[in-house]
Homo-oligomer: A and B are copies of this chain.
Amino acid sequence: MLFMVNIEVSVPADMPQKDKDDLRTRENARAMELIGTKKMRRIWRIVGQVANFSVWEADTLEELHANIGSLPMYPYMKVSVTPLIEHPGAAAYAKAHGSMPPF
């Protein structure tokens, strides 16, 4: 199953720089793990914002919730989750051509 996840991050402006750096390091490390296990399939930064769109794969809703909650910045996030299915146009393409173009 796929889900579109929109995340806005609001780390307090007065958090010590050292803590911010540490938080960022741990966030990126965890993101790499989630990418490596194909749970976070894609993640993009929204231009000009500390916010992201990401596409998550999950076998269960429990797994999805646990994975989002495992992000070190989770306490500072506003998260919305949108369930996705294949679009008819993409389905027609995949049927005609065997698969979607790699991305």
Q: A75 to B81, alpha carbons, bound, how many Å?
A: 24
How many copies of this protein are present in the complex? 10
Contact with B along A14-39 (1 / 0, CB 8 A): 10000000001001101110011010
| Chain A interface residue count, Cβ-Cβ cutoff 8 angstroms | 59
Contacts of A80 in B (CB 8 A): 48-49
Chain A residues in the interface with B (C-beta under 8 A): 1-5, 12-14, 24, 27-28, 30-32, 35-36, 38, 41-49, 52-55, 60-62, 64-65, 68-69, 75-76, 79-90, 92-93, 96-97, 100-103
A-B contact list, 28 entries, CB within 8 Å: A1-B60, A1-B61, A5-B48, A12-B13, A24-B88, A27-B89, A28-B89, A28-B92, A31-B89, A32-B89, A35-B101, A36-B101, A42-B103, A44-B87, A44-B90, A45-B86, A46-B83, A47-B64, A47-B81, A47-B83, A48-B64, A48-B65, A48-B68, A48-B79, A52-B87, A62-B85, A62-B86, A65-B85
